[in-house]
A and B are shown apart, each in its own frame.
Chain A
Amino acid sequence: MVTVLLNGEKRELGERTSVARLIEELGLRPEIVAVEVNRELVTRARRASTELCDGDQIELVTLVGGG
């Protein structure tokens, strides 16, 4: 297991979980989210190949109403 900080909260993930896999496991629609790991954008193209490591800080965002 690896422990990450996902949107500010601790969360346990399986070893070698990719960003794409995380999005799937959370039941999110991949086309309406964006992901940052340790303050670096993980682009759509790199989601499948980017594996999460112990201590990673993940920001998982979407678009909401705003002005």
Chain B
Amino acid sequence: MTTTPKPDPCADTPLVLGAHSFTSRLLVGTGKYASFEETRDALAISGTQCVTVAVRRVNLDRKTGPSLLDFIDRSKYVVLPNTAGCFDAASAIRTAELARDVLDTPLVKLEVLGDPRTLLPDPVGTLEATKELVKQGFDVLVYTSDDPRLGVRLAELGAKSVMPAGSPIGSGQGVLNPNAIRILLELVHVPVIVDAGVGTASDVAFAMELGAAGVLLNTGIASAKEPLRMAAAMRDACSAGRQAFLAGRIPRKLYANASSPVEGTIEGASPRG
């Protein structure tokens, strides 16, 4: 007798970004940790398979020590360089080119920021840089606001992922405008990854329950009192939110709906008039 294996009721499809395919839907940044060792351990616990890094001037005054890259095993993680700190398209494009030369990867997390206080994306610069980088063969994962129409335009230009901020970078405010994210998810047909603003596990779960393809976060783990424990919380929240999204939540109702049978209760147990 042959038995067909039961399908896994919790099966999921991978998250595909450019040439890469991920089973973890959490993307984790490497900034703000106390040490490279802590960075390495937090990444491992988070279960991420894709980690972001930034491009900065070599510090020529300091004696050459270990590099962050010595603590990121590239056989385990896809390294995603960002253009954080760039406030115009031209410098973001140059930063992406520099990163590609070090890492030999077409992936880039494009950020063109508006101003240093809000770190909100500059939409015009973001569009310009996306267009140019796509032309140059980059796989552009683009940090953007939660504006649905802007997301559509970025996807049309060839972005491999549209990454709306849930709230300002590092603010820990969570997803402030879930309706905008919902509309974005309906209109955009590339993976939508909620990037920035995540403060705690429930923020990640909430973003995933909305239907986001993934969540990218850094400060939420790195600046928690116990980053390693928070890495575990974020890992579980991402997975829980994803499964809840796929499972399909019940509609919200105003009144109760008993879980136990309403008939067959004992004498005297009926509700009062």
**List of B residues within 8 angstroms of A64 by Cβ:** 31, 53-56, 68
**List of A residues within 8 angstroms of B183 by Cβ:** none
Q: Residues of A at under 8 Å CB distance from B?
A: 6-9, 26-29, 31-36, 39, 41, 43-44, 59-67
- Given A29-B64, A32-B67, verify A66-B58 contact (CB < 8 Å): no
Distance (whole angstroms) from the CB of A40 to the closest CB of chain B? 9
**Does more than half of chain B's interface fall in helix, strand or loop, or is it mixed?**
mixed
**Contact between B84 and A63 (Cβ–Cβ < 8 Å)?**
no
**Contact between B98 and A66 (Cβ–Cβ < 8 Å)?**
no
B161 interface hit (Cβ, 8 Å): no
Partner of B217, one of A41, A62, A67: A67
Q: Across the two chains, which residue of chain A brings its CB closest to B96?
A: A41
Distance (whole angstroms) from the CB of B246 to the closest CB of chain A? 27
B147 interface hit (Cβ, 8 Å): no
Q: Across the two chains, which residue of chain A brings its CB closest to B29?
A: A67
B39, B60, B103: most-surrounded residue (chain A CB, <10 A): B60
Partner of B94, one of A39, A44, A65: A39
CA–CA, A41 to B57, complex, Å? 14
- Given A64-B68, A67-B82, verify A34-B54 contact (CB < 8 Å): no
**List of A residues within 8 angstroms of B103 by Cβ:** 63
Q: Residues of B at under 8 Å CB distance from A?
A: 29-33, 39, 52-58, 60, 64, 67-69, 79, 81-82, 84, 94, 97-99, 101-103, 169-170, 196, 216-219
**Contact between B94 and A36 (Cβ–Cβ < 8 Å)?**
yes
**Contact between B68 and A41 (Cβ–Cβ < 8 Å)?**
no
Q: Across the two chains, which residue of chain B brings its CB closest to A7?
A: B57
- Between A and B, 12 residue pairs with Cβ closer than 8 Å are A6-B60, A33-B102, A34-B55, A61-B56, A61-B57, A64-B68, A66-B30, A66-B54, A66-B84, A67-B30, A67-B32, A67-B196
**Contact between A32 and B102 (Cβ–Cβ < 8 Å)?**
yes
Q: Across the two chains, which residue of chain B brings its CB closest to A66?
A: B54
CA–CA, A66 to B196, complex, Å? 12
**Contact between A33 and B58 (Cβ–Cβ < 8 Å)?**
yes
**Contact between B58 and A67 (Cβ–Cβ < 8 Å)?**
no
CA–CA, A66 to B52, complex, Å? 6
Distance (whole angstroms) from the CB of A2 to the closest CB of chain B? 17
**List of A residues within 8 angstroms of B79 by Cβ:** 63
